Amino acid sequence: MTQEVLAEYPGMKKIPFEVGRGVGRGKVEAYPSSESRSPRRGKNYIEFLSDTEGSPRNEVKSMLAGEVLHFLGSRDEKGQAVNPAFRKFKDEFRQSLTPEQLAFEQHFYRKMKQSGHETRSFDDFMEFSRTDAYIRGYLFPDKDAEFLQPGVFTNQQKRLLERARTFLKTESP
């Protein structure tokens, strides 16, 4: 399945990653090579969890492609963009968030923090989770995703995300 995703999205080929199955609850988790909680420390690792068992193949492929975005838009240990072109898309998207979107994210962050499900700063929450969630939600939507609702994205954001899609589909290895 990994090869199918890379064939469809050649812009992801430059990012080395491994895929495996875990036993925890949930669907899928991406661990960058620097992540201390990673089951494969030192490697970009995508772990499919118990809630994906029996999922249709196209949904699993979409989840896999969406998780690779975490690595593609990240920075290495020295702070350098792993993929500068895709990192630019991610930075531009984050800067395009409207005051209403940011207010929603701040409210969501406070709820997560109060429930004990979030320990990072708001900036890290946006950098490592929520900005990627918006991008993934548009490019690889989940059938239950909040990002399928009308009005979630501005026209400017849609244009930017379509440029990112073109990059992923055409970037050569």
Contacts by residues 32-35 (CB-CB < 8 Å, ≥ 24 positions apart): 32/70, 32/71, 32/74, 34/76, 34/77
Helix, strand, coil content of the chain in percent (nearest 5): 55, 10, 35
State pLDDT tens for residues 22-81.
877 778 888 888 777 788 888 889 998 866 777 778 888 888 999 999 898 888 778 888
Question: Residue 62 and residue 83: Cα distance in Å, rounded?
Answer: 20
Residue with tokens 């409210």: 107
* Token reading at 129: 């989770």
* pTM for this predicted structure: 0.87
